[in-house]
Amino acid sequence: MPHSTVVDRQATSDEVATHAAAIGRLAADLGLSGLRLRRDGTVIVHTEEVGYRAVTRLSAAASDLVGAYVHVITDDVPGAFGAREM
């Protein structure tokens, strides 16, 4: 099965929440913390790493797990506000 990409359907908040524990483990393995979930299904993470390598890897792994594209952003952007903890 090919990897999900941004042109695929974005996972809903409910779909992502169903896999929250597994996504949390994936994030921890990548050195990401502070997972939160927006109403549109976007996952927000905190990283000390410069760049977005770990964020991109989490998005790919979470998308494969959920079966739809999981959008992941860092907590230092304006769109990160108003999300709930995963």
Parse the chain into domains and list their residue ranges.
13-78
- Tell me which architecture the domain covering 13-78 has in CATH: 2-Layer Sandwich (3.30)
Residues 20-50: b if buried by 16+ CB within 10 A, e if exposed:
eeebeebbeebebeebbbbeebbbbbebeee
pTM beyond 0.95: the answer is no
Q: Is the pLDDT of residue 57 over 80?
A: yes
**Pair 68, 15: CB distance under 8 Å:** yes
The total of other beta-carbon atoms located within 10 Å of residue 74's CB is 17
The 10s digit of each residue's pLDDT in 41-52 is 999 999 998 889
Q: In the prediction, which pLDDT does 1 show?
A: 45
Q: Tell me, what's the pLDDT at 7?
A: 57
17 vs 6, higher pLDDT: 17
Instruction: Please say whether the beta carbons of 35 and 84 come within 8 A.
Output: no
